[in-house]
Amino acid sequence: MESIIKKIEAEIAAWSPEGGTVEVGIVRATGDGIAEIDGLGNAVMSEMVLFDPTFDRTLAEALKDPKPLYGLVLNLEEDGVRAVILGDASKIYEGMLVRRLGRLLSIPVGDSLVGRVLNPLGEPVDGKGPSGAKDVHLIEREAYGVIDRAPVNVPLHTGIKAIDAMIPIGRGQRELIIGDRGTGKTSIAIDTIINQKSEPVATRPICIYVAIGQKESKTAKLVAELESRGAMEYTIVVTAPASAPAALQFLAPFVGAAIGEYFMEKGKDALVVYDDLSKQAVAYRQMSLLLRRPPGREAYPGDIFYLHSRLLERAAKLSKEKGGGSLTALPIIETQEGDVSAYIPTNVISITDGQIYLEADLFNKGQRPAINVGISVSRVGSSAQTKAMKKVSGKIKLELAQFRELEAFMQFSSDLDAETKNRIDAGRRMTEILNQGRGVPLPFEMEAAVIFAATNGYLNTFPPEEIGAAETKLQDYLSREAGGVLMAIKESKEIREESEHTLRAKLAAFVVRHEKLQGSTL
């Protein structure tokens, strides 16, 4: 055995680009996706190792294997190392040869990944052949420092009126989407990706959707939806399904961040959705317990906060000197019975720049998206809004807050004065205006025009229960009759005096038309 190992070490030393000796080790024990390895005394944290069933080939030959089996060193111990197995753990056995690769875990990246579905090792799983990516990017790396960053002041339009008006997201921001299962968290993320199609091609972000621990059927459905809406032409999907080992579910978000950084460093904008980090935390807890790390609160390891902070810190808006690119992160966290004070939710809330909180009660009442305006916030705020959106959305939060207060008071009173009744009706209209079904994101200029109509009283002639139908008619009318105004708002990003005058005239004509139709039906 010793002669074979010496022979292999000599061959590796001759092949190694650094010219140094690369160690080989032996699997001492294996189980539950973890391998205990002897003989890798100089291994480093997060280093890749290669499990090789053949003793008599060089490392170069082993790497040409069509399906190489890798491991990731995560525990450095006195008498050896422990590595998680990135693949089929059933193929690992005691006495198997393990080769150090002398590099940290990395994946191939490149423009050719756009439109593809990948696993967490960067390998395509969509049946369309090799990805063709040539550049190699580290999966884990240090985030950019403060000096290399620029202020977040360019909006990332979601196409969802309630978010773009009240909880704006900027390019380079980290905005948490949090709520119970089945409250529409993924829908917000997918609508945001679809809405980027309405952005000019030159400034359109590359979108990366990371599915962690999801059913494969759900991910396939999402990919089919993105393809049918023409969004896959600027989207990359990274999937680590529920059937994948915990190690791959743990790595998937870092792979999404690495791909996003590649585009950010080229001066482009990128958006990465982590769906969802609760499942990544569970996978990391499972791995850590198997690695014999001491458990802490809720059985999570002590470094679970660092797991998410080092991931989300990589979202940034780079300075002009660094190319001016950005990476926006939309992490998703699932709560249990609306408990935002649990360990993982509080961790991620404290790391991110705001949260969109979706409430099951509002969802069950038919509000879409089911956003609780009271505790949802964007810490970037109006800095990430266009002048047009700032102008039309200023009063909305206050109006809705007053409406909620009056609505609660109304339950105890049967007699309401005219002013209170008008204010409640105005709140109901605004709630209905902000209602928006799944899969219908709006271009920002249409959002601005519709909200302008609502906040300036042009929809007051409609009863609150008819606002949904009235808004649909208004959108059709504006697309048909006010295309020039909408284009002016889109290009200038503001509602200038001339545009406002024309828009008011068109909205007044819409109201007159509605009143005439009402009169004729009576």
Residues designated catalytic: 379
191 DSSP 8-state letter: H
Nearest residue to 481 (alpha-carbon basis) of 457, 505, 465, 464:
505
CA distance 108 to 144: 21
> Do the Cβ atoms of 109 and 133 come closer than 8 Å?
yes
Quick count: other Cβ atoms within 10 Å of Cβ 383?
A: 16
The tokens describing 252, both together, are 């998937």
The tokens describing 444, both together, are 């920002």
- Structure-derived torsion over alpha carbons of residues 508, 512, 518, 519, reported in degrees to the nearest 10: 160
Backbone φ and ψ for 83, nearest 5 degrees, come out as -130, 145
CA distance 493 to 448: 10
Q: Which residues contact 237 (CB under 8 A, 6 or more apart)?
A: 116, 117, 118, 208, 209, 210, 211, 219, 222, 223, 226
CA distance 5 to 70: 19
Three-class SS of 494-508: CCCHHHHHHHHHHHH
The alpha-helical segments, DSSP class H, found in 118-174 are: 161-166
Three-class SS of 358-393: ECHHHHHCCCCCCECCCCCEECCHHHHCCHHHHHHH
> Do the Cβ atoms of 292 and 137 come closer than 8 Å?
no
Residue appearing with tokens 């690992």: 92
Nearest residue to 300 (alpha-carbon basis) of 278, 315, 285:
285
CA distance 361 to 511: 34
Q: Which residues contact 400 (CB under 8 A, 6 or more apart)?
A: 373, 427, 430, 431
| Angle in degrees, CA 141, 145, 150, rounded to 5 | 120
The tokens describing 240, both together, are 């680590």
